Amino acid sequence: MGARPRKHDGGTLSLSQACYHEVYAYPGKVAAVAYALGMNAGTLANKLNGNVESHKLNADEAVAIGCVTRDKRILNAVCFEMDAVWHWLDEVKELPGDLDVLSQGACVLDASNQSIQELISALQDGRVDQQEARRFNAAVLEARRQLTVLRRLSERFMD
């Protein structure tokens, strides 16, 4: 019996950590993702284990994991390191209505508020530790992502 998977605290992750958490959060975990990738489950488990030096996950495998799981952690990990923002294409309707834009504006405000709440929580003891900084960074990334979706929606109304 293997070790119990580590719980993700909601903060920003490295690419390898993101792959690990995506696979272990996916229904069927390693076995299901390995099957979808046409890979041996033991090999994938070893590639996800940072303590196994003989097996390393490569970039193509990280992308394939993201395609199977459709989880946003891999995208967040890459975009955070590159200071970039992403969004799912289907988040921006081809012909949005006024309520779609207003609803997305509310999502921007919610995500912005969440980042402020993370900072307030982190500053309660007068300092921001690494875990608190990672959670704050993740919240800011999500706020930027929601703002990008709003901008894309608003572009649909421009001539």
Q: Tens digit of pLDDT for each residue in 15-43?
A: 999 999 999 999 999 999 999 999 999 99
pLDDT in tens, 91-150: 999 888 889 999 999 999 999 999 999 999 999 999 999 999 999 999 999 999 999 999
CA distance 59 to 101: 35
pTM given for the model:
0.79
Calpha distance 78→146 (Å, rounded): 17
Banded pLDDT at 1 (limits 50, 70, 90): very low
pLDDT (tens digit per residue) in 89-108: 999 998 888 899 999 999 99
